[in-house]
Chains A and B, each alone.
Chain A
Amino acid sequence: MHLTRQEEKMLDGEYGWANQVSMKILVRLGELFGATHLIPVQSAHLSGVSYKHMGDASIDFLTALAEGGGKAQTLSTLNPSSFDPTYLPKRYHRERLEKQSRIIDLYTRMGINSTLSCTPYYLRKPGHDQHLAWAESSAVIYANSILGAWTNREGSPSALAAALIGKTPNYGMHQAANRQPNVLVKVETSLQNEAEYGALGIHLGKILKDRVPVIKGLHSPSTDNLKQLGAGMASSGMTALFHHKTRSEKEKLETISIETKDIKEVAAGLCTTNEAPDLVFIGCPHCSLKEVKNVAGLLEGKKVRKDRELWVCTSRHVKERAKNYVDIIERAGGHLLCDTCALVTWIKDLGVQALMTNSAKTAFYAPTLNEVDVALTPLNKCIEAACR
């Protein structure tokens, strides 16, 4: 890999330990994956925030980096944590909150914004063709496929290294040649709702491996539905980019056909229970303003049952713009939670055994990450179940 003189000096430790170790990560990954040099990134988005997921071990490294002079060199944002500001702190042991605060403090000491959301693109939409270094697989696939930005699927440490250096090695999704579709997915069924879009994503993620699909047969899908599709693909597989706008292919691509029964099978396979839910969870990935509005519309004049909880998770940024809808949701007895979601907090410790969600990504992960049973069903049914 070609390095500038300044990059060489960083690698040799002349700019402190944090820069040196970050540079070592970027250069080694670049060499292993065939990068020629480092390119500047417009933003970095970091996973590895929730204490539930990170545990104590990560605190050691973050402390060393912060003490070693680490400072973000590009706009940098954080994934959700294990707590919202007001509701969950009352429900767990204090030590967990302290550990979580420590992790966030270490990041903010390094100049990283505590946005605590998996949808940084609602806060600041990256431009077409901008290079990014994002972790959080659902945000990566959204940025590449829907916004036309360029980012690899970074892991927690490589996104952090890119934030501190402000650059990333130019391999993978940063090369135009690697972004060309090489498999055609023909959807020969009409997808009914966001849960079905997510289920299609889970199905495709499992069979696509590292290929880049062009998906045809989606009838003017909303960006919210595409968000569910992408989140599903990125959860069950390694997909970082899909194409969906109809375009003529020069070469004939291998074709995968998707029929109604495929979607039904996958959606059914993601459900592990028919039991009534203890928790109904909307907002994986974090809700857009439109999605919060939809929830409020369905909840108007209703009450969430006393023996069930409804969580609607979003970013602080969206919450501030959704004041009226938030009021409706909270008046109905639902919880509008910022900075967190059901996957990254200890819902089992809250007594949750059965979770209902409209997110295929949550349905895919919750049985293992949270050890709860799951039912996947569209938003209107979720709200019905919460209030019935």
Chain B
Amino acid sequence: MKGRSIVPGKCTGPALVSTKPLSFLGGVDHNSGVIIEKGHDLKGESVKGKVLCFPYGHGSTVGSYVLYSLVKKGVGPIAIVNQVADLVVVVGAIIAEIPMIDQIDIRQIKTGDEVEVDGTRGTVKVGGQR
């Protein structure tokens, strides 16, 4: 799939996919990387080592710092794939230095799929289930 490059860089890992927007501030525990947002379909899942796919971010811009902190502690996602990039997630991915692309139909990706993200070219390759 071809989307838009937001933050360059390449990586491969298992996808964690949500149909709901995500707020990093208050939505993800900054020590463990576990999603704690009330009513979220990924509540209880860890973002650690995942290619995190969700439609878009919402909530406070302080959320960017949470993404940075997660990645620096080694419990953050390895890449982000969005439908629509919003300011909070874009800045978070820039400062955390993880690849990010948007304008991807994330419904075509399933949790557990092995995904190759090329943030420089703006592409996502979906392999099979691991």
Contacts and interface: CB of A to CB of B under 8 A. Distances in A.
A338 interface: no
A156 B69 contact: no
22 contacts: A25-B95, A28-B6, A32-B85, A47-B61, A53-B25, A53-B62, A55-B25, A55-B30, A55-B62, A55-B66, A56-B30, A58-B65, A60-B65, A61-B69, A62-B65, A155-B88, A155-B91, A156-B65, A157-B61, A157-B95, A158-B61, A158-B91
Nearest to B96: A61
B69 A29 contact: no
A28 B5 CA distance: 10
Interface string A48-75: 1000011111101110100000000000
A135 interface: yes
Nearest to B72: A60
**Majority secondary structure of chain B interface residues (helix, strand, loop or mixed):** helix
Contacts of A29: 87, 90-91
A21 interface: yes
Nearest to B30: A57
A186 interface: no
Q: Which 9 A-B residue pairs are closest in the complex by CB-CB distance?
A: A155-B61, A57-B69, A57-B30, A58-B65, A57-B66, A60-B69, A156-B61, A157-B91, A61-B65
A109 interface: no
Contacts of A156: 60-62, 64-65
Q: Which bracket fits the contact residues of B? A: 20 to 34
Interface of A: 21, 24-25, 28-29, 32, 47-48, 53-58, 60-62, 64, 135, 155-158
**Majority secondary structure of chain A interface residues (helix, strand, loop or mixed):** helix
Interface of B: 6-7, 25, 30, 60-62, 64-66, 68-70, 72-73, 85, 87-88, 90-91, 94-95
Query: Quick one: which of B7, B61, B66, B70 has the most chain A CB within 10 A?
Result: B61
Contacts of A32: 6, 85, 90
Contacts of B69: 56-58, 60-61
Nearest to A156: B61
Nearest to B68: A61
B61 to A, nearest CB: 3
B5 to A, nearest CB: 10
Given A29-B90, A61-B95, A64-B72, 17 more contacts: A21-B94, A24-B94, A47-B61, A48-B62, A54-B62, A56-B30, A57-B69, A57-B70, A58-B65, A60-B73, A61-B68, A155-B61, A155-B88, A156-B64, A157-B61, A157-B64, A158-B87
A187 B88 CA distance: 35
B60 A157 contact: no
Given A28-B6, A28-B7, A32-B85, A58 B62 contact: yes
Contacts of B88: 155
